[in-house]
Chains A and B, each alone.
Chain A
């Protein structure tokens, strides 16, 4: 029992790493992609649109496999098992950035044109307008959908099992199979649940903090 918990805990550390790294990279990357999606340049815009469409239209599991095996099958480059973790992170980041990009775009487009015009007449530069006036309002508006994505991400981390990365779910399955017991999976479920509870609490706290204006 104790060893099961400690093994799961090790898996959990990896799960938490996948979660944290994905958020750290995907959230800002999503903003850049959102700008590409809204670009005046037709080629860039179309390219980004196609990218987002593919990322959202195919299973994340498949994307993980492609990122992991792609170098070998396409370029004949042998990557060791050390590539598992980076492959998972890359796949998660490019997938989640696409989702975040669409959320950001909706948020940015929901800000009334009048905010830009007021800022322009007051003499704000383009970047001042974005960072001082638009972005804070966008953050408030996108918080609920970003919370949803973040909770989905916690659960999605289990997809890393596809390439046998020993995150929590993979570990739980292995112990479960060895001991012919459902307990490890139940314990993993509790881990995920508590993790998400934590995420939801943090996001709720931020939402509260931003509720001083409408």
Chain B
């Protein structure tokens, strides 16, 4: 089943055309990595898909429900958008955990106060997630007491607690040391094994190769090339080759 469909997405910041005619669809269970040079619009694409940024033109459809369509783009009524937003979660590069909440509260607060899940059920779910992510002893800690890698895993747990259909990651390990990067990537790989649908912006080429069903190479606001990791890593396209070569050294 198609979970996400983006057609002819166009986005400008003032005069600057940051995204030009991006089309992309993601099947249930698929893991898609987005790579490309700095400033190519990867973050902006995720921010448009997660509605943190409004698109100027194009369609945004989650599970057959239209969030936005047309050029210029018209968004669905608020109520429908609210429902559509439940389809996805987003993990940020710099975590954005709530510093005044414990790890447990960070994870259960949205399910309890937004989704109206009972506190008991939310806690049970959270404990399961914490265990799965290797954080079972951190439930009562505050974010500032955790390492960056632990914080990022908490933020993944926080997103998963709402049981999204798709999870977006924007450079989830860019703020981390190499060792901490490994523990976060391990968690994402495990999610991939469980067929969690994920769209991951990353600069970790080896990781992208291992985890992805498909890799998208973006440059200057367009999708230059996409394909299986094998196809991308063996690409004839000189831009792709150059980029991957640079990233691997």
Contacts and interface: CB of A to CB of B under 8 A. Distances in A.
B100 A123 contact: no
Contact of B113 (A112, A121, A124): A124
A80 interface: no
A120 to B, nearest CB: 7
B90 interface: yes
Nearest to B89: A121
A145 interface: no
B40 interface: no
B144 interface: yes
A107 to B, nearest CB: 14
Interface stretch (B17-25, B91-99, B182-190, B206-214): B91-99
B121 to A, nearest CB: 17
A75 interface: no
Interface string A106-122: 00000010110110111
Given A128-B114, A137-B99, A214-B99, A123 B94 contact: no
A81 B195 CA distance: 78
A140 B100 CA distance: 10
A198 B158 CA distance: 42
A213 B141 CA distance: 10
Interface in A160-214: 212-214
A71 interface: no
A71 to B, nearest CB: 45
Contacts of B162: 122-123
Given A123-B110, A128-B114, A118 B96 contact: yes
Contact of A124 (B89, B92, B110): B110
Contact of B144 (A124, A133, A214): A214
Contacts of A125: 114
Interface residues of A, number: 20
A122 B52 contact: no
Nearest to B164: A121
Contacts of A136: 100
Interface residues of B, number: 27
Interface in A124-177: 124-125, 128, 132-133, 136-137, 140
Interface string B127-165: 000000000000000111000000000010011001000
B86 interface: yes
B96 A115 contact: yes
Given A117-B52, A121-B85, A213 B100 contact: yes
B72 to A, nearest CB: 21
B28 interface: no
Contact of B99 (A117, A122, A123, A213): A213
Interface in A73-119: 112, 114-115, 117-118
Interface in B27-85: 50, 52, 82, 85
Interface of B: 50, 52, 82, 85-86, 88-90, 92, 94, 96-100, 109-110, 113-115, 142-144, 155, 158-159, 162
Given A124-B114, A136-B100, A213-B142, 12 more contacts: A117-B96, A118-B97, A118-B155, A122-B158, A122-B159, A123-B110, A125-B114, A132-B109, A212-B142, A213-B99, A213-B143, A214-B142
**4 shortest interchain CB distances as A-B pairs:** A118-B96, A114-B96, A122-B110, A123-B114
13 contacts: A117-B96, A118-B96, A122-B89, A122-B159, A123-B86, A124-B114, A132-B109, A137-B99, A140-B100, A212-B142, A213-B144, A214-B99, A214-B142
Interface of A: 112, 114-115, 117-118, 120-125, 128, 132-133, 136-137, 140, 212-214
